[in-house]
Structure 1
């Protein structure tokens, strides 16, 4: 599951946009246990693709490669997306290039952490 690459996926614009929004909502329910911000607004989700069979491909990262929650966060993301209505399957690729940085965070995340 983690790190596997599958066949070419249909780009979002040709896929189900409603399902994309549901996936984003599900991702916003997954929080980094060390930071009170969800993984989507924290900028840990680099790519979301959905193919014509409603299979979701996610490219994700962690705040650091040595993150103490490195085993838990990808599993939590996988479960949340897999449980999203309409999702048939989930494939997650964990990457560290480019490295995560504070610039990846949404304005909402920066506000929640008092950084702006």
Structure 2
């Protein structure tokens, strides 16, 4: 059994190392991660989106997320679900991401 809170924090750190190749901000700060569920047994379920349904990274970004999270010690299994409901928009970005992109 793991502490799900500590494991979730480690998962978030891993997600902050994954970037959309077209945007110089990690996917967590970009607001592409909608939900993270971590079980005490190390199973992780992530609900994410893409900046658009036509995003060129659509083929590999969910797989990059899965690989990054699988590398976290204590993670047993990762499920990545992509959704476009609700659609992503700029309001989902963190303040830090907006500063990095010159939007603030």
Question: TM tier, shorter chain?
Answer: over 0.9
2:62 alignment partner in structure 1 = 74
Which residue of 75, 87, 91 maps to 1:99?
A: 87
Secondary structure at the counterpart of residue 75 of structure 2: coil
Aligned partners of 1:111, 1:98: CA distance in 2, in Å? 24
2:36 alignment partner in structure 1 = 48
Measured on the aligned residues, the alpha-carbon RMSD in Å equals: 0.8
**TM-score, structure 1 as length reference:** 0.86
2:26 alignment partner in structure 1 = 38
**TM-score, structure 2 as length reference:** 0.95
Question: 5 Å matches for 1:102-113?
Answer: 102-113=90-101
Gaps spanning 5+ residues in structure 1: where? 1-14
Count of residue correspondences:
102
Aligned partners of 1:114, 1:85: CA distance in 2, in Å? 35
Instruction: For residues 76-101 of structure 1, give each alpha carbon's deviation from its aligned partner in whole angstroms, at most 9, with x where no partner exists.
Output: 11100010111010001100000000
Aligned partners of 2:28, 2:83: CA distance in 1, in Å? 15
Gaps spanning 5+ residues in structure 2: where? none
Aligned partners of 2:59, 2:70: CA distance in 1, in Å? 17
Whether 1:114 and 2:99 are equivalent positions in the alignment is no
Q: Which 4+ residue blocks in structure 1 deviate beyond 4 angstroms?
A: none
Whether 1:60 and 2:48 are equivalent positions in the alignment is yes
Aligned partners of 1:68, 1:115: CA distance in 2, in Å? 23
Instruction: For residues 28-64 of structure 1, give each alpha carbon's deviation from its aligned partner in whole angstroms, at most 9, with x where no partner exists.
Output: 0001100000000000000000112110000000000
